[in-house]
Chains A and B, each alone.
Chain A
Amino acid sequence: MKIRNYWNLRDWGAGIWERANRPKRVAIALTSIFLVGLLPFAGASFLATPIAAYDAVLVYPVGVFVLMALGLNIVVGKSGMLDLGYVAFFAIGAYTMALMGTHTGLNTWEIMPFGIAFAMLAGVLLGLPTLRLRGDYLAIVTLGFGEIVRLVVLNSTWSKGPNGIANIPMPPNIGPLKFKLEDQKVFFWVVVTMILLTIWMIRRLSVRRPGRAWEAIRQDEDAAELMGVPTLKYKIWSFTLGAAVGGAAGVLYASKNLFIAPEMFTLNVSILILSCVVFGGIGNIWGVVVGATILGYLPDRIRFISDARLLVFGTVLVVVMNFRPDGLLPRKKREKAIVKKEVNA
């Protein structure tokens, strides 16, 4: 078989990283983080979004999408389970923040652990019975779970039903950094910090036992089970960690938006986040980041064609998937699953 070896961005980037020594790596990382941190100041350039405020767009959708896509990538990309109900964990985080923020005196940072814990609990509760299912069946059950969470919130009195919950408190100021509605730079920096923490967690886990277990499960679950990998345990772990990231994103989103309603947590969000993961390059952290950034940013950037923007969005999905089925920045070839033809017995 002929191996074509043309230039690609991922290998080029990975090459620079691999050749660099420790101080160089630290320098690269710090420069990149610094440049990303400066992004909210670039509002006057070609990046500006018409209609929506540029720094607000950077927080939601872009920042929150990247965070959630990274979380979903643990489930879909790392361990190969199709989750179509990811928005449920986002909703659980957001409602935890909304309810605790309005009923108790706790602030955002104190509620964050609760939001994460509740999302993880929901992940375990959903995961225990359903993670024995595979493929499309898992997809439909998770999808059902997402819809159930939304409908329960919509039809219950404690959540104020379709009216949603208003007056959610803003996060308290961190030293000189003030959270303001009209200027959301600080929110953006908080999201970036959370994204960096998530990336750090995923990278640490990927090279250790859980990461190897997920990789084995993704490539061939039966073989992994036979080799002694406790597959159910690691699948639940992956599901729960993904849920934790989703919950954290939810807490931050509620605290930033000050108002949440059930209509913000529809299946469309789950699908959009999944699109971010697959569009960017499933399984590859940087691909996911790029994909979520583009898909979060694009609809707001092309708002001038306001009415047709979702049409363009759908068309872009079809075209990109057709020409780059592994996403914009795919994972390395050797990490790809062994494609096995299904033979029906």
Chain B
Amino acid sequence: MFAVLIDQFWSLTIAGIALGFIYVLISLGYTMVYGVLRMINFANSEIFMWGTFGTVITSRDIFHYTQTSEPAKGFKLIFVLLCSLLMSMAVAGLTAVFVEFVAYRRLRMKGTNRLATLISAIGISIALQEVMRLLTSSRPVGSPRVLEKIILTEMWGANVRLDTVITIIAAAIIFFILERFIKLSRMGKAIRAVSQNEDAAKLMGVNLNRVITTTFLVGGLATGAAGFFYITVFEYTKFNIGFTMGMAAFTAAVLGGIGNIRGAFFGGLTLGLLEVYASAVLGTQWKAVTVFIVLVLVLLFKPNGLFGEAVQTTRA
């Protein structure tokens, strides 16, 4: 049972870290919105899904790569990848702002119950998914291979592939930039102020609407970047991939303590590794069950998550 785990420990670990970084970026979308609004951004999974299409469109329709064409090299490779990344982030960021504008803003202004907002978010999430389903006629979309997956080096008997390395390094950089943005910039301070105490922040002259839109935008940018990395590693997307990834990322956010940016980082990595190890030991079909059981255990014994504040006492 554990033979697979021991045999392939290092290659599993590398895959787990890469997956973990994708989770980290998606769970930023959940955790930031939760921090400010105290609400689950239910549409984040669809924002991620739209983000993955940003990459596919860039490489397929703008740079005309196909499944059979030669992978890019050198400067052009970096240029195409960068464009795809930016496109994904832009698509996801705009979708996130759109979601905030359509599903959240009016209800927030009215100050109504949270469930109405939740259903409204579920509604926009269904609509976003359906639009993409109609556009792609329910078919999975393969992404052209821009990046050749060369094996860079061998570490402890595990192959280190270029796409995993790029994912890990670039995702870490993006996370670092966002974290600095929240920590140091004026807007970041305003976001943290609102998440600590909305009323007090308002009294101090913080423009609440702008802060909330920015939060959605930044969360969307991170989620979009995750979409790019997802495509680089898995090279395929479909209108319904958002759900599984979104669920896992949300679990990661709760695991780390939702509303907490560092928490999202460690939660995402833990979950990525956990998922990969669990599927090696128990088989892929029990992966999700393991993840949820761990989540329930964490909530029972350490309800604030690994790094979170005491949100579990927050009233529904």
Contacts and interface: CB of A to CB of B under 8 A. Distances in A.
Is the A/B pair a real complex?
Answer: yes
Interface of A: 76, 80-82, 129-130, 133-141, 143-145, 147-148, 151-152, 154-155, 220-221, 267, 271, 274-275, 278-279, 282, 307-308, 310-311, 313-318, 321-322, 325-327, 337, 339-344
Interface stretch (B123-131, B152-160, B214-222): B123-131
Contact of A318 (B39, B102, B314): B102
18 contacts: A76-B115, A137-B303, A141-B296, A143-B247, A144-B293, A144-B295, A147-B247, A147-B292, A148-B292, A151-B285, A282-B115, A311-B134, A318-B127, A322-B103, A322-B106, A325-B107, A325-B110, A326-B113
Interface in B218-273: 243, 247, 250-251, 254, 258
The residue in B125, B128, B313 that gathers the most chain A C-beta atoms within 10 A of its C-beta is B313
Contacts of B77: none
B119 A321 contact: yes
Contacts of B127: 311, 314-315, 318
Contacts of A278: 115-116, 118-119
Nearest to A321: B120
Nearest to A139: B40
Size category of the binding interface on chain B: 35 or more
Given A137-B299, A151-B286, 5 more contacts: A82-B118, A275-B122, A314-B122, A317-B119, A321-B120
A55 B92 CA distance: 43
Contacts of A141: 295-296, 299
B196 interface: yes
Interface of A is mostly: helix
B289 interface: yes
Contacts of B123: 275, 313-318, 321
Nearest to B258: A136
Nearest to A327: B116
B3 interface: no
A133 B124 contact: no
A310 B115 contact: no
Contacts of A81: 316
Given A317-B122, A317-B123, A340-B315, A308 B251 contact: no
Contacts of A136: 34, 39-40, 258, 311, 314, 316
B111 A339 contact: yes
A134 B296 contact: no
Nearest to A311: B130
B199 interface: yes
- Ranked nearest first, the 4 interchain pairs of A and B with the lowest CB-CB distance are A317-B123, A314-B126, A314-B127, A144-B292
B38 A342 contact: yes
A321 B116 contact: yes
A126 B96 CA distance: 34
B212 to A, nearest CB: 16
A271 B122 contact: yes
Contacts of B197: 343-344
Contact of A82 (B115, B117, B120, B293): B115
B112 interface: yes
Contacts of B118: 82, 278
Contacts of B251: 140, 144
A337 B111 CA distance: 13
A308 B130 contact: yes
Contacts of B120: 317-318, 321-322
B285 A154 contact: yes
A342 B199 CA distance: 10
